[in-house]
Amino acid sequence: MKKRTHIIFLAIFLTFLSCAKNKKDEKNEFPKNEISKTWNNFLNALDSNRKKDFKELSGKKIRCYLCLENTLAEQKEIEVLKNNDSLWYDKIYDELIYIPIDSFLKKDFDLIFNPEFVNALKEKKTIFHKRIIDGIEYYEVLVTTTEPTLDHEGGQHNFQFKKINGKWKLNGIETIP
């Protein structure tokens, strides 16, 4: 009798897991709010490589550590800074990490938003997380771009949007880890 009960419980549990997985596997169902519309517009601008639209959806500067190390030359510059400036950390995170939008579009946009990456952003599950810091609204849009495996913890990209003059603007791009 106990064996039969365990089998029934296991069958119900597996059915529940299967239903939950199917729900997760459905194409992104965006919440019906302003940030989801902004995210869709952001993806459309990326998908069609419309830099003008991307600029309209962005703040004047984008917080982007990735942008500091996109090329070997940039990586060497950061290494020299770390080796020669005792305040290198502050310099990076207080100054250099904030990339003016025009510079971002010219130097970093095409390196970061290649077709494979844009496709991953469109296809992968999206999580919206709202935060209020010092009275300013932020949304972080998290996308798991590298699934975890036995050999790798996986990775996410975080796109931070800030409410500026009533509109959501891209404020930062980060990776986790």
4 within some domain = no
Predicted confidence at residue 24, as pLDDT, reads 42
> How many independent structural domains does the chain possess?
1
63 within some domain = yes
15 within some domain = no
Q: What is the CATH number of the domain that holds 70?
A: 3.10.450
117 within some domain = yes
Of the CA atoms within 13 Å of residue 88, those in its CB half-sphere come to 11
54 within some domain = yes
* pLDDT 10s digits, 107-164: 999 999 999 999 999 999 999 999 999 999 999 999 999 999 999 999 999 999 999 9
pLDDT grade for 171, boundaries at 50, 70 and 90: very high
33 within some domain = no
Provide the residue range defining the domain that includes 157: 38-176
> Is the confidence at residue 6, as pLDDT, over 50?
no
13 within some domain = no
pLDDT grade for 94, boundaries at 50, 70 and 90: very high
165 within some domain = yes
